[in-house]
């Protein structure tokens, strides 16, 4: 790893204070790091709400991008993200711009922080794929009544996150890795992660590898969280269950994370910007501080990292707690909590250990876009999504007439994923988007683009269409799934 140094030979880190409570948490963490004497220098840059207000749609300025490209290491406070409107999340933008494909989110039971799970010995890590899945953010309003979000899962992305998870298990001296997916329903997308996990696991015989369905994983995390060591999962699943796991040990105020890529690493708390608490000296800075501990280990500053982690444990064990843990009564403010951590540098908490860690080996994966290569492929039909207020029978008969003289026939129509034509006798509450599955009449044929476009034009002469998907086979394996009820 190439580390940028300043004129004094200190390791240079891009610092993004963030929005809301971010600047307070970051300032507290800077004070703690400085007290250890770790050779860290900061290059402050902006992202988030202040940048959105400048009219920068990405929420990230050009000089921030330039700084990160040089330093390759970022400590970031939480950024404000518009909810349900406005621009994309600047958090997600940063992860995607620098291909920080792995999100590491550890949680462990902490001294002095009482929860219903205290005494259970929770010490687990969620390894979340960080750049694809539904977070690709590719959405379309296909009809006035139906919106679509594309769930993109690549074999390359799965290979990277799975290998990172196995290497992470080794680096921390752990023993078990669960892969959590919804592959019982999404057999192609979530199923790709499961299949990749099972193949790669053969290269790590020293690690116990288990697959678990994500909803059962969530159930088990609440029922018996101490059974888990490391969990690897897709982006959306990881976002949800990592928030769940943080609640088991005291909340988001104790939830750090690392966004890791082969070129850049971004360290940040899992929690948001909490603007209503900004500037009130009440926020818990531990999540950002522990994120910085992960950053120091990434930079090879293991002694300083261990020093801070021990000091945090001692501070909590001594009962120095913020309002998110004990409420208003008996709570200390952000500055007082930080002072206590600094005063406790060099002490160790009785009965609480800091895990010995080895450097994490990042997987080296081919950069080729065509990561998966096939010998044979053919197009066997298409799914044509149309906007229609007709009954399934009316639409089906109309489409059948329109394609009667083409190489394709109408196999079925589905509505919200359920086959509605030919009728099965099911009860389906229809919406104004219908998927017409058109298949080649000739077995073993390969649908040409010209024939495909001609069919679309023919159907489009009578019906408004919104979307097309080719139905493909790769090396004889179907690259599409069936509707509920489809033969």
Find all residues with CB under 8 Å of 34, minimum gap 6, and list them. Answer: 40
The CA distance from 192 to 158, in Å, is 7
The H-or-E segment that residue 465 falls in is strand 464-474
Kindly compute the dihedral angle of the four CA atoms of residues 211, 217, 220, 221, in this order, to the nearest 10 degrees: 120
Which parts of 114-171 are beta strand (E)? 123-129, 139-143, 146-149
Are 220 and 227 a contacting pair, CB within 8 Å?
A: yes
Kindly compute the dihedral angle of the four CA atoms of residues 198, 298, 95, 161, in this order, to the nearest 10 degrees: 0
The CA distance from 447 to 467, in Å, is 17
Find all residues with CB under 8 Å of 148, minimum gap 6, and list them. Answer: 139, 140, 141, 142, 467
Report residues of the chain scoring pLDDT below 50: 85
Find all residues with CB under 8 Å of 47, minimum gap 6, and list them. Answer: 16, 18, 59, 60, 61, 64, 76, 79, 90, 94
Going from the C-alpha of 318 to that of each of 22, 93, 177, 247, 341, the distances in angstroms are 26, 40, 34, 22, 11
470 exposed, middle or buried (CB, 10 Å; 0-12, 13-18, 19+)?
Answer: middle
Token output for 154: 């690549």
Token output for 53: 């207000």
Question: Tens digit of pLDDT for each residue in 340-386?
Answer: 999 999 999 989 988 988 889 999 999 999 999 999 999 999 999 99
Phi, psi (deg, nearest 5) at residue 293: -60, -45
Q: What is the pLDDT of residue 89?
A: 82
Quote the crossing angle between the two packed helices 286-298 and 302-317, to the nearest 10°.
Answer: 160
> pTM for the full model?
0.93
Token output for 456: 């679309």
The CA distance from 79 to 87, in Å, is 13
Are 175 and 207 a contacting pair, CB within 8 Å?
A: yes
Cα 105 off chain centre by: 11
Are 128 and 259 a contacting pair, CB within 8 Å?
A: no
What DSSP designation does 110 have?
Answer: -
Q: What is the pLDDT of residue 337?
A: 98
Which parts of 78-201 are beta strand (E)? 102-108, 123-129, 139-143, 146-149, 176-181
3-class DSSP state of 22: helix
Q: 179 forms bridges with which residues in the sheet?
A: 211, 232
Q: What is the pLDDT of residue 84?
A: 55
The CA distance from 189 to 171, in Å, is 29
Are 181 and 190 a contacting pair, CB within 8 Å?
A: yes
Q: What is the pLDDT of residue 467?
A: 94
Are 322 and 337 a contacting pair, CB within 8 Å?
A: yes
Nearest to 232 by CA among 126, 124, 151: 126
13 exposed, middle or buried (CB, 10 Å; 0-12, 13-18, 19+)?
Answer: buried
Query: Strands across the sheet with 265-269, in order?
Result: 40-44, 11-16, 73-76, 265-269, 256-260, 102-108, 123-129, 230-233, 176-181, 208-213
List, in order of start, the domains of the chain with CATH numbers.
1-99+261-356 (3.40.718.10), 116-248 (3.40.718.10), 377-478 (3.30.70.1570)
Q: What is the pLDDT of residue 41?
A: 98
Q: 139-143 and 146-149 as β-strands: parallel, antiparallel, unpaired?
A: antiparallel
Nearest to 434 by CA among 481, 384, 393: 384
């Amino acid at each position: 790893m190439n580390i940028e140094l300043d004129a004094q030979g200190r390791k240079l880190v891009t610092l993004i204070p963030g929005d809301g409570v971010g600047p307070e948490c970051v300032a507290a963490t800077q004070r703690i790091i400085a007290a250890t004497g770790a050779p860290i220098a900061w290059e402050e840059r902006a992202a988030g709400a202040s940048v959105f207000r400048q009219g920068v749609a990405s929420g990230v300025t050009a000089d921030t991008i330039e700084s990160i490209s040089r330093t390759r290491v970022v400590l970031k406070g939480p950024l404000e993200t518009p909810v349900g409107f406005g621009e994309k999340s600047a958090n997600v933008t940063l992860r995607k711009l620098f291909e920080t494909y792995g999100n590491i989110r550890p949680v462990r039971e902490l001294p002095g922080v009482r929860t219903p799970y205290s005494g259970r010995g929770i010490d687990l890590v969620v390894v979340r794929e960080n750049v694809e899945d539904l977070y690709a953010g590719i959405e379309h309003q296909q009809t006035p009544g139906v919106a679509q979000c594309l769930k993109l899962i690549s074999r390359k992305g799965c290979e990277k996150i799975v290998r990172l998870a196995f290497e992470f298990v080794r680096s921390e001296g752990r023993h078990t890795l669960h892969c959590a997916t919804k592959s019982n329903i999404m057999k192609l997308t979530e199923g790709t992660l499961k299949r990749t996990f099972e193949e790669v696991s053969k290269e790590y015989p020293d690690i116990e590898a288990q697959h678990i369905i994500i909803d059962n994983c969530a159930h088990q995390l609440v029922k018996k969280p101490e059974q888990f060591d490391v969990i690897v999962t897709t982006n959306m699943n990881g976002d949800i269950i990592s928030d769940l796991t943080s609640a088991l040990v005291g909340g988001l105020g104790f939830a750090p994370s690392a966004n890791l890529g082969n070129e850049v690493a971004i360290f940040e708390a899992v929690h948001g910007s909490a603007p209503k608490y900004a500037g009130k000296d009440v926020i818990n800075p531990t999540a950002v501080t522990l994120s910085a501990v992960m950053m120091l280990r990434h930079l090879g500053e293991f002694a300083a990292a261990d020093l801070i982690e021990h000091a945090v444990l001692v501070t909590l064990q001594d009962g120095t707690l913020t309002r998110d843990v004990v409420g208003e009564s008996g709570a200390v403010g952000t500055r007082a909590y930080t002072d206590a951590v600094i005063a406790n540098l060099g002490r160790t908490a009785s009965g609480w250990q800091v895990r010995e860690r080895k450097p994490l080996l990042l997987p080296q994966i081919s950069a080729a876009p065509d990561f998966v290569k096939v010998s044979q492929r053919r197009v066997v039909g298409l799914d044509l999504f149309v906007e229609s207020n007709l009954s399934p029978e009316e639409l089906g008969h109309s489409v059948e007439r329109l394609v009667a003289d083409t190489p394709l026939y109408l196999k079925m129509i589905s509505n919200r994923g359920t086959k509605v034509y030919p009728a099965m006798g099911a009860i389906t509450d229809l919406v104004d988007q219908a998927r017409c599955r058109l298949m080649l009449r000739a077995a073993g044929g390969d649908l040409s683009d010209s024939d495909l476009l001609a069919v679309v034009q023919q159907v489009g002469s009578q019906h408004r269409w919104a979307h097309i998907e080719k139905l493909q086979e790769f090396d004889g394996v179907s690259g599409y799934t069936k509707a509920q009820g489809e033969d």
